[in-house]
Amino acid sequence: MKTNNTYQMHVCDQRGLCLDLCPVGALSRRKNGVVLLDAKVCVGCQACVAFCPLGAMRKAPTRIQPFKCISCGSCVRACPTKALSLEDVPLENNRQDVYHKQGV
Amino acid sequence: MTQGQIPIDEYQTGNTKHTWDHAKIKNARKTLAAYHYTKGTVQRGYANRTLAVDLSTLSITEKPVTEDMKRLFTGGRGFGLKLLWDAIQPTTRWNSPENELIVTTGPLCGITQYPGAGKSICLSISPSTNTICDCNVGGFFGPYLKFAGFDALEIQGKATEDVIVVIDGEAGAVSIETAPLEETDSHLLAEQLTHLHATEATESSRQKVSVISSGTGAEHSYWGCLNISFYDIRRKCARMKQAGRGGLGTVLRDKKVKGIVVKVEHVDGLGNHPADPEKLAAVGTKIHREIRDLDRYQCNMRAVGTGHLVEIMDAYDLLPCENYRFGTFPKASKLYSPKFYALFTKIIPDGCWHGCTLACAKTVDGYTVHTGPYKGQKVTVDGPEYETIGACSNMSLWDPQWVLEFNFYCDTYGIDTISAGTATAYYMEMYEYGILNRDRCDGLELCFGNAEAVLELLHRMARGDQGAFLQIASKGIRRVKDWILKNGWGPRELVEDCGMESKGLEYSEYVTKESLAMQGGYGLTLKGPQHDEAWLIFMDMVNNAIPTFKDKAEALHYFPMWRTWFGLNGLCKLPWNDIEPADNAQTSEPPKVPEHVQNYVDIQNAVTGWQVTKDDIILQSERCYNWQRAMNVWMGRGQRKDDWIPYRSMGPVTETEYVSRKDRYDAQLVDKLSISKQELEKLEIPKRMQILYEYRQNQYQKLADAVYHRRGWTPNGVPTPQKMKALGFTDTRMLKMLQQKIDADEKAGLNEWGGKYTGDEKPPTGVKRYWERNGH
């Protein structure tokens, strides 16, 4: 996705709004900040898929549980032209912004 | 409380913690009956068998679900009606041993992809109405019952001592066990049984248990509700939804059942084994997005639940205040949703079943109880929902803290907040008029606004107080009316007209005086005055979209049929029209929310693999609706006389009410009854009230005529055998019974229209026994 003079990837930025949507606690934040989905616990309700403001939680046709980017970096390693990098980006007003706008 | 992104393990409610000696409780139990079954899988929404437990004979059996049963009754409430028909007699009453308490699911129950898909539908013969009462309730029980292997559960007979029924879907076992040491009140019992029956002492294990319970209040009143639990892994408590109406909890306790426990081995997104999971996920994701983007501009359910209605009802003169005398009140803003929003715990998935993003099941956590046996404890209060707040405005209680107190105790005692609130409001009005007084009320000072007295009434009821008033008051408005009249304490018209009950059941919390269609929505119903059949006030009163009797009758055909459908499938009504697509207003029929109706067609097809259309799903409902009405007729409770409603729901009973809306009523006398302004001024208020009374009573009868005709019933409100055959029923016992009733009505001269028609007005048809004509 092109924005101004740079590109933005359409992937999870680990902001974790989905954490508060999961009825069964299948989503959790690891110590390193990455949000993980435990497919064994997930009940496939698609709430996180639909509510993600980035569209970063996705559903594949093969199974009911969704999937997301876990910042593992394999795309960085695989990119032949080294166009990708994994960076820490601070999120501002995460909570106010999205909780307010999405209802609580 | 801090909000958002709190790891689940660290979440705290601040509630009082309870510990019980589990081994002691378990050791005190005796197993009275045990049954092992072969675990199966749910196929396309059906477990394909039902479970029957008889507490008298201690038998536990399975029954197959036939294809015929699915075709004619669909599931859920439909299955419940079929099972009742096979089990009871027309003379069966709520406390007869053969009366059943039935919990059903429905083919869409338990899907997680579409919001509001975890409803259990409970049925029984109600102590309030002496006929069938059905309640559609959230919580995990329905989905778990199905995943444990059964589309429905029937409980018949009566135990001789307190028991629990355990359905263990993990072991494939059902048992009846004595329960001498278990708690009775629900906020304790649900937690206790959840902990006792969870396979492991983990939150996720507890989440796989659901409990049905009631309470001590249900033992001593006709208002017993069923509490259906859903364990909350964040709050770490067993939360509850209520099957409130009609005293089903009273039936549960009369059978001496303390609790029904169901446990499942595993929950995943495809437990129903739907025919087309992709379609299901796609339709579900679409509506979740609508909720994400639009709920905050529409109903704000995710923030405040159904309580958002309080300010709307107050603004439109529809909020019941002081026993429905008024529709608005100067203090009402004290109960507006922002007041409760401030108290609710926020940013938690508050659905009563997985995947419900409408999330209306709000709670106040760490609430300190300030009266009664649990005084000083900190608890989670489930709610309040709109109806509970409305029940409190009806009693003129304007402090949110008292609303919470009332809400908490009603729930834990197993008492329906609606019936308790509406009835107490009536007792308060009678108290104001001196028809009741302190002596007649066992020392309770039941004036409007006396919250202490309201709570004291509940506490005494739960203790089984033997006072004369308590004994009658706990049985509801109908019995109190009879008691007042027998004692000659008040004039019949006032006593009858003020008490908001129909068929013996208390009204839910809307003022219907200015909407004739809504009066029909309460009166021309199956179980009694509950808003779940039709809510037509805005269509009728505000938008004037259904001006003629024919229009109103069409609405009172379509909407009750449509809303019945949710109960056939194990669904909640709210995601149908409490969230609407952005372009809904531009569609041809906005009140029907056509896009959502199509969603429901799609998800029923996606689960069952059928190929139904919008018309087919109405037909599914029509079968069930007519069957239930026919059963009411069979039990002597489904004719025009039973669709009587009190005048308080039609117009001003007292001068105070008339004067409070004098301009409105005067204008109607001029516009609708062609009384000139000069003539009107000569008339005293009581005379004006009398004219309005006769006019509105006749309007209601004319509405009943139009509705009965539209539904294909006789002028006395009886479904005809011809209609039943057209719907596909061939049960000769049913068809014969209906013919006999119609013949008896004919002899008694009851097959005549009820309205008085003058001038150009005509009844729906002039043809006698029109239903016998071909093609009708």
Q: In what order do the strands lie in the sheet with B101-104?
A: B59-64, B49-54, B152-156, B101-104, B120-125, B132-137
Res. B652: pLDDT tops 80: yes
Whether B105 and B42 have beta carbons less than 8 Å apart is answered as no
- Residue from B1, B8, B210 whose CB has the most chain A CBs within 10 Å, to mutate: B8
SS3 call for B567: helix
> What is the per-residue pLDDT for B544?
92
Say if residue B45 is in the same domain as residue B128: yes
> What is the per-residue pLDDT for B773?
87
Contact A25 B203 (CB under 8 A): yes
| pLDDT tens digits, B197-207 | 999 999 999 99
Q: Which of A12-26, B270-284, B648-662 is the least confident region?
A: A12-26
| pLDDT tens digits, B327-363 | 999 999 999 999 999 999 988 889 999 999 999 999 9
Contact B346 A104 (CB under 8 A): yes
Closest CB to B112: pick one of A44, A61, A104: A44
Contact A45 B355 (CB under 8 A): yes
Closest chain A CA to residue B344? A104
Contact A104 B3 (CB under 8 A): yes
How far B235 CA sits from the closest chain A CA (Å)? 12
**Rounded CA separation B105/B566 (Å):** 11
**Is residue B379 domain-resident?**
yes
How far B351 CA sits from the closest chain A CA (Å)? 8
Contact A61 B355 (CB under 8 A): no
Q: pLDDT higher for A9 or B674?
A: B674
Closest chain A CA to residue B287? A50
Average pLDDT over residues A7-17: 84
Q: CATH code at B350?
A: 1.10.569.10
**Is residue B516 domain-resident?**
no
The total number of structural domains that make up chain B: 3
Pairing of strands B257-263, B163-168: parallel
SS3 call for B112: coil
ipTM value for the complex = 0.93
Contacts of residue A57, Cβ cutoff 8 Å, sequence gap at least 6: A12, A18, A37, A48, A49, A66, A67, A68
Residues of A with CB under 8 A from a CB of B: 16, 19-25, 28-29, 41-47, 49-51, 59, 61, 64-65, 95, 99, 101-104
Q: Which domain holds residue B452?
A: 295-506
**Residues of chain B positioned with their CB less than 8 A from the CB of A42:** 268-269
Res. B80: pLDDT tops 70: yes
Say if residue B358 is in the same domain as residue B242: no
| pLDDT tens digits, A26-67 | 999 999 889 999 999 999 999 999 999 889 999 999 999 999
Average pLDDT over residues B248-266: 98
Res. B429: pLDDT tops 50: yes
Neighbours of B281 (CB within 10 A): 27
**Rounded CA separation B50/B438 (Å):** 51
Neighbours of B435 (CB within 10 A): 18
Q: Return the sign of the alpha-carbon dihedral for residues B540, B545, B551, B557.
A: negative
- Residue from A14, A45, A99 whose CB has the most chain B CBs within 10 Å, to mutate: A45
Q: Which of B506, B523, B540 is the last residue in one of the domains?
A: B506
**Rounded CA separation B532/B386 (Å):** 14
Structure tokens at B281: 């996920």
**Is residue B520 domain-resident?**
no
Res. B1: pLDDT tops 60: no
**Rounded CA separation B691/B689 (Å):** 5
Say if residue B454 is in the same domain as residue B565: no
How far A85 CA sits from the closest chain B CA (Å)? 27
> What is the per-residue pLDDT for B5?
84
> What is the per-residue pLDDT for A38?
97
Say if residue B349 is in the same domain as residue B492: yes
The total number of structural domains that make up chain A: 1
Q: Which domain holds residue A62?
A: 1-104
> What is the per-residue pLDDT for B456?
98
Whether B222 and B474 have beta carbons less than 8 Å apart is answered as yes
Closest chain B CA to residue A95? B4
Average pLDDT over residues B612-627: 98
Res. A102: pLDDT tops 80: no
Say if residue B235 is in the same domain as residue B135: yes
Q: Which position has the token pair 């709000």?
A: B362
> What is the per-residue pLDDT for A10?
79
Amino acid at B597: V
**Burial state string for B249-268 with b = 16 or more CB within 10 A and e = fewer than 16:** bbbbbbbbbbbbbbbbeebb
**Is residue B579 domain-resident?**
no
> What is the per-residue pLDDT for A104?
46
Mean pLDDT in chain B? 97
Contact A45 B3 (CB under 8 A): no
**Is residue B600 domain-resident?**
no
**Residues of chain A positioned with their CB less than 8 A from the CB of B301:** 103
**Residues of chain A positioned with their CB less than 8 A from the CB of B355:** 23, 43, 45-47
Closest CB to A50: pick one of B267, B288, B303: B288
Neighbours of B89 (CB within 10 A): 11
How far A26 CA sits from the closest chain B CA (Å)? 10
Res. B157: pLDDT tops 80: yes
How far B112 CA sits from the closest chain A CA (Å)? 5
Contact B269 A25 (CB under 8 A): no
Res. B49: pLDDT tops 50: yes
Closest chain B CA to residue A16? B5
**Is residue B135 domain-resident?**
yes
How far A67 CA sits from the closest chain B CA (Å)? 14
Say if residue B244 is in the same domain as residue B346: no
Structure tokens at A82: 């080294």
Q: B266 — alpha (psi -120 to 50), left (phi > 0) or beta?
A: beta
Q: Which of A60-64, B406-410, B626-630 is the least confident region?
A: A60-64
How far A65 CA sits from the closest chain B CA (Å)? 8
**Residues of chain A positioned with their CB less than 8 A from the CB of B268:** 42-44, 64
**Rounded CA separation B290/B543 (Å):** 25
How far A86 CA sits from the closest chain B CA (Å)? 24
> What is the per-residue pLDDT for B346?
87
| pLDDT tens digits, B540-592 | 998 999 999 999 999 999 999 999 999 999 999 999 999 999 999 999 999 99
> What is the per-residue pLDDT for B6?
87
> What is the per-residue pLDDT for B109?
98
DSSP B216-235: HHHHTSS-B-EEEEEEETTT
pLDDT-derived band at B2 (thresholds 50, 70, 90) equals very low
pLDDT-derived band at B3 (thresholds 50, 70, 90) equals low
Say if residue B310 is in the same domain as residue B428: yes
Res. B142: pLDDT tops 60: yes
> What is the per-residue pLDDT for A99?
59
> What is the per-residue pLDDT for A97?
54
Q: CATH code at B158?
A: 3.60.9.10
Say if residue B720 is in the same domain as residue B671: yes
Residues of B with CB under 8 A from a CB of A: 3-5, 7-8, 112-113, 203-204, 207, 233-234, 267-270, 277-278, 281, 284-286, 288-289, 291-292, 295-296, 300-303, 346-349, 351, 354-355, 357
Q: CATH code at A36?
A: 3.30.70.20
* Cβ–Cβ pairs < 8 A, chains A and B: 106
